[in-house]
Amino acid sequence: MYRFRRLRRDERIRSMMQETRLHPKDFIYPIFVIEGENIKNQVESMPGIYQYSIDRLSEILEQVKEADIGGIMLFGIPLHKDPQGSQAYAEDGITQRAVRFIKENCPEIYIVVDICLCEYTSHGHCGMVHGEEILNDETLPYLVKMAVSLAEAGADMAAPSDMMDGRVAAIREGLDLAGFTQMPIMAYSAKFASAYYGPFRDAAHSAPGFGDRKSYQMDFANGQEAIREIAADIEEGADIVMVKPALAYLDVLKEAALTFDVPLAVYNVSGEYAMVKAAAAKGWIDEKRIVMENLTAMKRAGAKVIITYHALDAVRWI
């Protein structure tokens, strides 16, 4: 009889046989930077996650350095919003200033910047708006401006999350023309219109003022379309492609891993984090074990990079 249990007998042989191992460098930790002074606001629906003003940022940057993770992903929250999202590509915009601050004070930290307008537009949509319509081609030049201005500030990688068609090609061309041929693009390629983003929209003040994002983000019923979206972004020049959210979409991630020979990222989003934290706070689940199980499953399904709010905790639990 074949006995599977021979290789499960004790911890020594189990750990020798372990197929998937998490490493601190797998993780990217999202950070919210808010305009103002002396601010450290806990995000109510995301216990343990804060909005920081730049003068308080060092506190979290020290923890990031200590954890020695892959990098951080920055989300700026501006004071001033307008229909064109002009603070997204202003030289002294909140995210640009945060990038410069980090480059100056912690040059060893790898900085990914989210490229999207929704935190900066008064209507809260990810693109330019005409009436109730979210415009595609009219939005692209603004995304390019945002990516270039953040590259100029010193960002290491651009991660467009807006889901406009053709944005990867436009941003690649814009970065190249500006001399940033070496800056990688991590495309949010298969990003689904998801209720799991709820807590993030509180954290980043980015809920749409009218309607929803279903005319640009994907229908969660569609798996084949996700593969076409990923193929298109690779074709347009994406260096890393992403599936988002994570847990309800591991089938998409796995299929992408079997289909494409490029590094894959997965975004373990705010709502996924909130559910774990809420149940753990009630004592209904064991937070540490649940988090490690979830993150390991993401890597097992094919993720090279995991963007997660659990990153700093997970490093201590590896």
Q: Do the Cβ atoms of 220 and 191 come closer than 8 Å?
A: no
| Binding range to ligand PBG, per CB under 6 A, among 21-29, 79-87, 110-118, 249-257 | 110-118
* Residues whose CB is less than 8 angstroms from the CB of residue 39 and which lie 6 or more positions away in sequence, other chains included: 51, 52, 53, 56
**Rounded distance between C-alpha atoms, residue 95 and residue 73, angstroms:** 11
244 is catalytic: yes
**Rounded distance between C-alpha atoms, residue 187 and residue 185, angstroms:** 6
Cα dist from 146 to 125, 168, 198, whole Å: 15, 13, 24
Binding mask 125-144 for Zn ion (x = CB under 5 A): -x------------------
| Binding range to ligand PBG, per CB under 6 A, among 58-66, 114-122, 168-176, 310-318 | 114-122
Q: Which residue is nearest to ligand PBG (CB)?
A: 200
Q: Do the Cβ atoms of 137 and 127 come closer than 8 Å?
A: no
Binding mask 160-189 for ligand PBG (x = CB under 6 A): -x----------------------------
Judged by CB under 6 A, the number of residues near ligand PBG is: 11
**218 binds ligand PBG, rule: CB under 6 A:** no
In the complex with ligand PBG, the residue whose CB is nearer, 31 or 126, is 126
Residue 201 binds which of Zn ion, ligand PBG, none (CB < 5-8 A, kind-dependent) = ligand PBG
65 is catalytic: no
Beta carbons within 10 angstroms of residue 278's beta carbon: 13
**200 binds ligand PBG, rule: CB under 6 A:** yes
At residue 29, the 3 state secondary structure works out as: strand
Q: Write b or e for each residue in 79-114: b if 16 or more Cβ atoms lie within 10 A of its Cβ, otherwise e.
A: eebeebbbbbbbeebbbbbbbbbbeeebeebbbbbb
Beta carbons within 10 angstroms of residue 250's beta carbon: 19
The catalytic position among 81, 244, 277, 299 is: 244
Judged by CB under 5 A, the number of residues near Zn ion is: 3
| Binding range to ligand PBG, per CB under 6 A, among 9-17, 128-136, 196-204, 294-302 | 196-204
Residue (of 206, 219, 216, 158) closest to 185 by Cα position: 158
**216 binds ligand PBG, rule: CB under 6 A:** no
| Binding range to ligand PBG, per CB under 6 A, among 7-15, 105-113, 195-203, 254-262 | 195-203
Q: How many residues comprise the chain?
A: 318
Residues engaged in binding ligand PBG (CB under 6 A): 114, 116, 118, 126, 161, 197, 200-201, 206, 269-270
| Residue ranges in contact with Zn ion by CB under 5 A | 116, 118, 126
